[in-house]
Chain A
């Protein structure tokens, strides 16, 4: 029998996360809280990318497309532009499902392409959707975007502009998403994706329908993108096309790479760093304009020195310690044997 033993390190990580969730709001202003909330939302979108890139090895820029789509969908459903207001929670769900369907259709087409050709297709996708967002007024409000989005309400609790309430709500959503991603990683889908990432020919000989599996992963990333986008729209209560430019889409790649493509905690840490860092540097004169440059340099440095991100670095550290402890033990044993033989 296999017992699902929960590791000490997992418990520790969970405890630390809970502690942060409890302490953080007491130290924050309303503005910084909103920044952290945005980081959590970006984290949700990045989880989608983590499934594609970290598990499946497919570099996709399309996360932003689905985030944008989700944001505009929720904005349309909650701003009365069509003469009705949907319940915000329902609107979030509907937006996410819509984006999942869109991702399924798009994925079925562009996942016929392999490797970098697929990546190029996703870059093109981001450009195409951005053009739509800017120019098609009936759905996306044109350059002015969509305003007047209703406020978030769940179980009778009205969020208003209270970013602390938002924080607790988002923390719960992120926890659910992280749990979901972890579960995917530990079950057949995660293993199949890992097999495709490392050797797709061998994957075929282990019953894995490579194309179908990639489409499923892309659909999940679409769902998470839509979910993040809808939450973003409802928190900001405004959506504009400028939020979904190509530059933005690279941010998600950077977030997942900095944190660690294949680690649920890492993805979240990466999103926090990349979202909060500019806010911290904003007040330092002269630095803000080098932000884009520093992102580029950061990615290069990361790729060279820690390709698996911060989480990967921790894992390597853990392994090193393990090896050192083990070798110390053996040398100790050797010494004892020597002593005894004297």
Chain B
């Protein structure tokens, strides 16, 4: 029996008349990259927002690490170990790279403001960062502004920041968008490391099919808020319904 770190059971979300998620059910195992694909507007990012708690679910339950987290606020969920990155990098624009990364370490330490004020900071930060930056394929000057980095590097650094927070599940929203081929390889290396070395369940939204087929063991396909298909990359690639959803229906 496989061990699931994250389970969605019949999750629903409506925005007015638009159904963004309808009875979505899938399970994410520990230690593998789980693909979440679908055409634009299928409700993929909405689903990530539901899992991380930014949106409240209308119906259904989200079970994380054996606990029902459906009614738990987002900051508590992230402390429990739900980490994420965003479609466009969300950093503290006016802070330097060090502070932007230490936010991740803060989350891993969970010291609280008082303890953090009076005690020394986690000494593993730089060691850990070194490991991740090797995978990310570039080095950073911690005193530089975050805005001095290119878009691609910022996106890679977001994965690094999430890794620093020691999550159990990592929700990764289109990491390859806007990256060059070399950077996509680094992103894949980081995600593989997260899954295999850190035993994190990585939920990956991505349109870059080469990447998805390459690193995902299982894939769930969404279309108009509903689960269209689930299976291994080979199964998904052959699935008629999936091809129709992506390329449009046949007109006979």
Contact = CB atoms under 8 A, between A and B. Distances in A.
Interface stretch (B8-16, B110-118, B229-237): B110-118
Contacts of B111: 188
A216 B113 contact: yes
Interface string B209-232: 000000000000000000000000
B113 A199 contact: no
A98 B76 CA distance: 31
Interface stretch (A12-20, A24-32, A80-88, A201-209): A201-209
A198 B79 contact: no
A262 B94 contact: yes
A190 B121 CA distance: 14
A199 B54 contact: no
A183 B113 contact: no
A198 B93 contact: yes
Contacts of A2: 121, 123, 125-126
A204 B102 contact: no
Interface in A186-231: 187-192, 194-195, 197-199, 201-202, 204-210, 213, 216
A111 to B, nearest CB: 15
Interface residues of B, number: 36
**Central interface residue in A184, A191, A197, A205, by most chain B CB within 10 Å:** A205
A207 B106 contact: yes
A92 to B, nearest CB: 22
B98 to A, nearest CB: 10
A223 to B, nearest CB: 14
Contacts of B117: 183-184, 187-189
Interface in B74-93: 74-76, 78-79, 82-84, 86, 90-93
Contact of A208 (B75, B90, B121, B125): B75
Nearest to B122: A2
**Central interface residue in A183, A189, A191, by most chain B CB within 10 Å:** A191
A192 B104 CA distance: 11
Contact of B75 (A194, A209, A216): A209
Contacts, number: 89
Contacts of A216: 113
Nearest to A196: B92
Contacts of A204: 52-54, 73-75, 78
B60 to A, nearest CB: 20
A194 B112 contact: no
A308 to B, nearest CB: 8
A197 B79 contact: no
B45 interface: no
B69 interface: no
Interface size for chain A: under 10, 10 to 19, 20 to 34, or 35 or more residues? 20 to 34
Interface of A is mostly: helix
Nearest to B80: A207
B99 interface: yes
Contacts of A194: 92, 94-95, 99
B107 interface: yes
B57 interface: no
B103 interface: yes
Given A197-B94, A205-B78, A191 B84 contact: no
A198 B107 contact: no
B192 interface: no
A280 interface: no
A189 B125 contact: no
Interface string B164-205: 010000000000000000000000000000000000000000
A192 B92 CA distance: 10
B107 A201 contact: no
A1 B124 CA distance: 7
Given A205-B83, A206-B104, A206-B107, 18 more contacts: A2-B123, A183-B117, A184-B117, A187-B121, A191-B99, A191-B103, A194-B94, A198-B93, A198-B94, A199-B91, A201-B54, A201-B90, A204-B52, A204-B53, A206-B103, A207-B79, A209-B75, A213-B113
28 contacts: A2-B125, A183-B117, A184-B117, A187-B113, A188-B111, A188-B112, A188-B117, A191-B102, A192-B103, A192-B106, A194-B95, A195-B92, A197-B92, A197-B94, A198-B92, A199-B90, A199-B92, A201-B90, A202-B90, A204-B75, A204-B78, A205-B82, A206-B103, A206-B104, A207-B79, A207-B107, A207-B110, A262-B94
> When A and B form their complex, which 4 residue pairs have the shortest distance between CB atoms, in order from nearest?
A188-B116, A202-B90, A204-B74, A189-B113
Interface of B: 52-54, 73-76, 78-79, 82-84, 86, 90-95, 99, 102-104, 106-107, 110-113, 116-117, 121, 123, 125-126, 165
Interface of A: 1-2, 183-184, 187-192, 194-195, 197-199, 201-202, 204-210, 213, 216, 262
